[in-house]
């Protein structure tokens, strides 16, 4: 397929472009950044909020993987207008352009949306299944929930348009020398091990459990979801792999790096004690299996990329 990847030069985008290219797909990489040099693939520039630019970007594509978004939970409240414009408005704009392209070309277009486990809020039921009624969540999660509704709604309204939303949990590991958002727990812990930070600040006792998944396993999930997004289909899948406590991350970083990781405990900010993905659906329906997502591999890959 010819596939448009938005956010193609981000952390997940880098892994996905690599994966799709290796599988023989023709990738069109969309970026809003200036100064991005071509590396042998087609690059288009544009803002996902720009309807005219997105109509150009989706021209003659068979599928779209929409990754472009703003993704810092605490920042989302401070920059609410921008987060809604990019995460919700951008997704709706790209999906509309893709549906219009299907009508213009007279052929189906498949759409895969990068969503987030944050849409669930803090449910008591763990691991979290996809059909759990959604609760109030943070500002970031609300923007992504709205994006899901628009994208899946477009598929419900158009028989030539199929859509899948992937609810990603904590994407980690490394690809192309990158380890993702430096403010997330694994990169921050590694920064302490390198000596770039004096200590790791932990809110609470460090017993909170989170779900980690390697970026390369996430890329595989997108590849499978693209195949699954047949015309008229609307589907949602969780993408997670390994539950681990914050203190498990610290211990694994110490083991992998052989270095000390000083820790400072601070009062809890009311963090959820556990957030785990129920991944039975994606394993059964798409045949997805995480291959790189044990905690030691995730940490070792990230350390090798940055040490």
* Residues recognised as catalytic: 140
d(CA 115, CA 128): 15
Query: Which residue(s) pair with 42 in the sheet?
Result: 28
Joined tokens for residue 128: 């979290």
CA distances from 68 to 24, 52, 119, 184, 304 (A): 23, 17, 17, 18, 26
Q: 226, 126, 214: which is closest to 175 by C-alpha?
A: 214
3-state secondary structure 16-44: HHHHHHHCCCEEEEEECCCCCCCCCCEEE
Interacting residues of 47 by C-beta distance below 8 A, sequence separation 6+: 32, 53, 90
Six-digit token string for 72? 């810092």
Buried b (16+ CB within 10 A) or exposed e, 150-177: bbbebbeebebbbbbbbbbbbbbbbbee
3 phi-psi bin (left φ>0, alpha ψ -120 to 50, beta other)? beta
């Amino acid at each position: 397929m010819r596939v448009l990847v938005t956010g193609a030069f981000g952390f997940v985008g880098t892994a996905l472009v690599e994966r799709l290219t290796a599988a023989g797909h023709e990738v069109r990489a969309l970026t809003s950044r200036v100064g991005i040099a071509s590396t042998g693939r087609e690059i288009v520039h544009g803002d996902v909020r720009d309807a005219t630019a997105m109509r150009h970007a989706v021209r003659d594509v068979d599928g779209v993987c929409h990754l472009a978004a703003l993704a810092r939970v605490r920042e989302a409240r401070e920059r609410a207008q921008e987060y809604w414009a990019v995460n919700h408005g951008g997704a709706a704009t790209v999906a509309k352009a893709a549906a219009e392209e299907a009508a213009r070309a007279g052929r189906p277009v498949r759409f895969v949306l990068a969503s987030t486990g944050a849409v669930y809020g803090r449910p008591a039921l763990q691991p979290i299944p996809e059909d759990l009624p959604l609760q109030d969540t943070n500002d970031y999660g609300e923007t992504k929930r709205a994006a899901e509704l628009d994208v899946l709604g477009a598929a419900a309204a158009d028989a030539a348009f199929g859509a899948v939303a992937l609810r990603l949990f904590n994407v980690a590991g490394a690809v192309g020398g990158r380890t993702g958002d430096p403010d997330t727990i694994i990169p921050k812990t590694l920064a302490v091990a390198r000596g770039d930070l004096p200590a790791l600040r932990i809110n609470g006792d460090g017993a909170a459990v989170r779900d980690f998944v390697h970026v390369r396993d996430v890329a595989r999930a997108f590849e499978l979801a693209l195949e699954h997004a047949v015309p008229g289909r609307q589907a949602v899948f969780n993408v997670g792999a390994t539950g681990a406590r914050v203190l498990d991350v610290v211990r694994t970083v110490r083991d992998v790096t052989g270095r000390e990781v000083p820790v400072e405990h601070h009062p809890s900010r009311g963090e959820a004690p556990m957030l785990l993905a129920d991944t039975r659906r994606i394993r059964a329906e798409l045949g997805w299996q995480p291959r790189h997502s044990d905690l030691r591999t995730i940490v070792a890959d990230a350390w090798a990329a940055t040490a």
